[in-house]
Amino acid sequence: MFTLAHMSDLHIGPLPVPRRFELVNKRMFGYLNWHKSRKNIHHRPTLDRLADDLHHENPDHVAITGDIVNLGMRDEYLQALDWLNKLGPNEDISVVPGNHDVYVPLLREPGIGRWNAFMSNDDSPEHIHSSARSGFPYVRRRGDVAIIGLSSAIPTMPLIAAGRLGARQRKKLHDLLVQLGEEKLFRVVLIHHPPMSLAGNWVRGLRDAQELRRIFLQAGAELILHGHDHTHKIRAMKGPNGRIPVVGIPSASVISHPHKPLARYNLYRIERRGDGWSCEMSGRGLEGAATAVETLCRLDLLDYTTNASAFALKWKDRSCRDIESIE
């Protein structure tokens, strides 16, 4: 059995003191928003509590689907790198960037390239630049599991948090999914923006989501994990052999929010069963700001057998109150 942990939208604080030139662009809006409200929502001690609990659970691998920093400042990338190194060795952690990680275009600052060790292929590491274009998708094989990291992060105008993969990345993804499928591996795809984004959602959505869904319909995958929405959603996407579970997760640092769930992470226990797979998901997080990290829900995402190729979604614990939709 292989256990994969999933965290997202860390928004690591506290926010470093910005250099004067760092606030002459979109960052000024983000800086004011952070001090107005976000610093009371995203709580570094809460994130560290989840990380301590994750260490206790001892998963085989950790996936982090973006928005690790807030405004894309140099000291934030360094602070995040230090946090990632403390979480574990880079071969045990796979990262993809979110829109906050590529907040503005960067010139000499390497940006997310500082996290290259957590975002590169096992066999031939490729340098990832601050543009977040080169080096994706990457693939990491862990036994029977293949982890595929995508970058939907693009710099945008103020008040815009949309993403895009682009034709080159989509083509490479299609080829990788076909190849890894032929190798009979359990394919986990990591992306920040939800692939279920509706056409026309150019403010916060994935702008080429429709093209991405065609790839999954043709080439398939076993599990798709994303962040961005700060909510817990379980949906299903059409694949060539049935439905593919798509799971979004809340922010790992939220301590207080009137409309969003509190901090959590998910564990996926993946096991080969005959010619197919089983995948049980359990969510661990906070019921209240003062509560301990606990198991919030547990359910089966996949139940493959030699006679059935479509997954069966089955409740195992009705306490999963924050699951918003199942399609």
Residue 299 lies in a domain: yes
Distance CA 123, CA 264 (A): 32
**326 within a domain of the structure (yes/no):** no
Residue 276 maps to a domain: yes
Inter-residue contact 193 to 228 (CB < 8 Å):
yes
Query: What are the two backbone dihedrals, phi and then psi, of residue 115, each rounded to the nearest 5 degrees?
Result: -100, 20
pLDDT tens per residue across all 327 residues of the chain: 999 999 999 999 999 999 888 898 899 999 999 999 999 999 999 999 999 999 999 999 999 999 999 999 999 999 999 999 999 999 999 999 999 999 999 877 899 999 999 999 987 666 565 555 568 999 999 999 999 999 999 999 998 999 999 999 999 999 999 999 999 999 999 999 999 887 667 899 999 999 999 999 999 999 999 999 999 988 888 899 888 999 999 999 999 888 889 999 999 999 998 888 999 999 999 988 878 999 998 888 876 433 233 444 444 454 455 555 555
Q: How far apart are alpha carbons 119 and 45 in whole angstroms?
A: 25
H/E stretch holding 170: helix 167-182
CATH number assigned to the domain comprising residue 257: 3.60.21.10
Residue 219's domain comprises 2-315
In the chain, the number of structural domains is 1
The residue written with tokens 């952690």 in the block is 93
Whether residue 65 lies inside any domain: the answer is: yes
Answer yes or no: are the C-beta atoms of 221 and 305 closer than 8 Å.
no
Between CA 195 and CA 175 the distance in angstroms is: 18
Q: Taking the model in full, what pTM does it have?
A: 0.93
Domain membership of residue 327 (yes or no) is no
CA-wise closest residue to 263 among 13, 41, 4: 41
Instruction: Please tell me the distance from the alpha carbon of residue 323 to that of residue 264, in angstroms, as a whole number.
Output: 13
